[in-house]
Amino acid sequence: AIAQEDEEDVADSLGGEPRCRFCGVPLSSASSHDGLCANLQRNGLLRTVAAAAAYGAVDRADFAPEDFDAYADAALPLGAGAQLSAPHVHARALDLLAERLDSDPGPRAVRALDLGAGSGCMSAMLGRLLHSRGTVLAVEHINELADQARQNIAKQHGDLLMRDGPLELRCGDGLDMANQFEHAGAFDLVHCGAAFAQAEPWFVALLRPGGRAVVPLGPT
């Protein structure tokens, strides 16, 4: 199943309240990590205990580029055409993925894939979400971003990257992975932060039957 995630760019103001111009969600900007989490929940996001805990465990300031407001509910540039998604976009993605986990509480280990790891922020959240349930493979095709993501995660979440930790981060390409036997149909959860014009067959091919993929769908 493909779950659509709304892509944020610039906010419009409706009735005096700043909202995402794409999805209409009220923006949750704050002056602190705790304030951001509280605002997201007040605006109807982070609906499950698991999603709220995973988001709350990862401070966006560890992943935001310098000279930008880490707690603004807006996408931030990372360079090389990549960006750190807006907080409400990450929160919505976590909600959708956590809902799928809640619907399948069985003992089998869950495998998740984060395509386009970027700064490593969502990868760390997924690592926290699945810490006792399975593993996360985070893939970034730009070497410099992959190295920076690893450094960002190591600031507060080095345990995720340890040999027995749930998170592996590597430099690679999602399209190539879909053509590799070991990865085709191998993942219960797939997240991609980059927008697709429509659901791509190669992307869906990474999912196990009954799995869930979360990706922004819309103009790219």
Active site residues: 85
C-alpha 178/C-alpha 61 separation (Å) is 32
Residue 13's CB is within 10 A of a number of other CB atoms, namely 10
**Beta partners for residue 110, in sequence order:** 134
C-alpha 219/C-alpha 178 separation (Å) is 23
- SS3 at position 83: strand
Coarse DSSP helix, strand, coil percentages of the chain, rounded to the nearest 5 percent: 35, 25, 40
